[in-house]
């Protein structure tokens, strides 16, 4: 089996020797992030739903990070001016992820509604520094990984993310099966916090490769309206449509799973494990797929596949249908995950990435905020089933828009 895994990760394009240590650390970073992802990030909305969260509250869980990103995107870029991207990334990531530790005692400290509002408030505060990590983190990644191997590195990172998320999600399912509700989620929150801290530790070990020239400081960006007059504006429009399609149903998903499909935590856990198995397999082929399709087509095809999986999810009243959907869903998201950031970086000039990525972050989070605000009224007016059908249609349209105009 180990030989098979090594074959999956075999590098079609050799990684330059001077970059290998940093890339290995980035692999460990994403692997530990998978522990956070498979515990807190996957199950936090489910936990809130089990506590009795309303569609408005689950919408706010989505909207508050987006609101902070909208407010602080350009200030974050200006704050980073003159500071090395690796230092800005590591410290902003540390401060942001430290907030996950505050979730650990929460199940035993407050009653249900107080917990829900506390989670929303924590999400609001932590995303101030989270915005810095999001904007400059992409700059840091682009500066750390050479262009010629970026596609395969992203694919391999996504595969490792899938592997550790899958193992963590499966473990979480067993924890929830064997422990009481409060104790189980306390262990889950602790597990996610430890994964977050280990991920940050890897970022602190990354060292910029010496090129012989002094590192270029991050330029001041401000509100660069001139960027909207370049061909990058089509990428921004495509990313706006993509994030609308992705995040519109997100506040509805946990409510639909719990209240309409009547899924248990164990079914959700097993389905999540299946998703990450196929996400892992698909991600290892990210470099090969990108060379055949290009990053734009790769992203569009992946979104169309995700839309088809969302349609199947809507009718997953039996566990076997849900597991089948997660198989297809995992492959689709693996293709999107390997193509998306490379598609955005492909159109962002290397000497002006912070300004371009600030606009990308702004547009993406505007879409996320809109989705968080309208998800509740959409769910109330159409019902959960009607909202899911709308989400399917929007996702199909977004995929085709990326393919045709992106």
Q: Quote the CA–CA distance of 19 and 256 in Å, as a whole number.
A: 45
pLDDT at 187: 93
User: Which comes out higher in pLDDT, residue 312 or 269?
Assistant: 312
Is 153 inside any structural domain?
yes
291-346 pLDDT per residue, tens: 788 888 898 899 999 999 999 999 988 889 999 999 989 999 889 888 888 888 88
**Residue 139 near residue 365, CB atoms below 8 Å:** no
pLDDT at 323: 92
Q: What is the CATH number for 180?
A: 1.20.1250.20
Is 90 inside any structural domain?
yes
Is 175 inside any structural domain?
yes
pLDDT at 218: 46
Is 360 inside any structural domain?
yes
Number of structural domains the chain divides into? 1
27-46 pLDDT per residue, tens: 999 999 999 998 998 888 88
Is 203 inside any structural domain?
yes
pLDDT at 32: 95
3-state secondary structure of 135: helix
Q: Quote the CA–CA distance of 212 and 148 in Å, as a whole number.
A: 20
Q: Among the listed ranges 20-29, 71-80, 337-346, 393-402, which one has the minimum average pLDDT value? A: 71-80
Confidence of residue 21 (pLDDT cuts 50, 70, 90): confident
120-175 pLDDT per residue, tens: 999 888 888 888 888 788 778 878 888 777 777 888 888 888 889 888 888 888 88
Is 186 inside any structural domain?
yes
Is 222 inside any structural domain?
no
DSSP string spanning 148-201? GGHHHHHHHHHHHHHHHHHHHHHHHHHHHHHS-HHHHHHHHHHHHHHHHHHHHH
178-235 pLDDT per residue, tens: 888 888 999 999 999 999 999 999 999 988 776 554 444 444 545 677 778 888 888 8
Is 8 inside any structural domain?
no
| Cα 121–chain centre separation | 20
Q: Quote the CA–CA distance of 211 and 104 in Å, as a whole number.
A: 43
For residue 331, give its domain range: 19-208+227-405
Mean pLDDT of 42-69: 80
């Amino acid at each position: 089996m180990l030989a098979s895994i090594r074959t999956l990760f075999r590098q079609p394009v050799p990684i330059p020797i001077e970059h290998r240590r940093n890339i290995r650390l980035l692999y460990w970073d994403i692997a530990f992030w998978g522990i956070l992802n498979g515990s807190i990030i996957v199950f936090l909305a489910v936990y809130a739903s089990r506590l009795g969260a309303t569609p408005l509250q689950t919408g706010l869980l989505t909207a508050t990070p987006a609101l902070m990103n909208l407010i602080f995107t350009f200030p974050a870029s200006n704050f980073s001016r003159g500071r090395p991207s690796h230092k800005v990334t590591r410290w902003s990531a540390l401060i942001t992820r430290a907030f996950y530790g505050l979730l650990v005692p929460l199940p035993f400290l407050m009653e249900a509604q107080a917990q829900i509002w506390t989670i929303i408030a924590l999400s609001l505060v932590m995303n101030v520094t989270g915005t810095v990590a999001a904007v400059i983190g992409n700059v840091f990644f682009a500066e750390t990984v050479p262009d010629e191997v970026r596609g395969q590195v992203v694919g391999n990172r996504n595969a490792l993310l899938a592997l550790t998320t899958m193992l963590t999600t499966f473990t979480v399912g067993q924890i929830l099966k064997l422990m009481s509700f409060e104790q189980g989620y306390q262990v889950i929150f602790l597990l996610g916090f430890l994964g977050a801290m280990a991920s940050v530790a890897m970022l602190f070990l990354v060292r910029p490769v010496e090129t012989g020239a002094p590192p270029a400081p991050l330029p001041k960006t401000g509100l660069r309206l001139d960027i909207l007059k370049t061909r990058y504006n089509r990428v921004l429009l495509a990313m706006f449509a993509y994030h609308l399609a992705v995040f519109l149903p997100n506040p509805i998903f946990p409510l639909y799973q719990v209240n309409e499909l009547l899924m248990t935590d164990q079914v959700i856990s097993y389905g999540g494990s299946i998703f990450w198995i196929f996400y892992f397999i698909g991600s290892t082929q990210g470099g090969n797929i990108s060379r055949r399709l290009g990053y734009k087509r790769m992203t569009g095809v992946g979104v169309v596949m995700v839309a088809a999986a969302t349609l199947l999810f809507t009718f997953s009243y039996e566990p076997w249908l849900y597991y089948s959907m997660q198989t297809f869903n995992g492959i689709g998201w693996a293709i999107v995950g390997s193509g998306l950031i490379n598609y955005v970086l492909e159109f962002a000039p290397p000497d002006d990435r912070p300004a371009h990525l600030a606009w990308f972050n702004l547009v993406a989070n505007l879409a996320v905020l809109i989705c968080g605000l309208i998800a509740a009224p959409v769910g109330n007016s159409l019902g959960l089933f009607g909202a899911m059908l709308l989400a399917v249609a929007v996702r199909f349209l977004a995929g085709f828009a990326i393919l045709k105009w992106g």
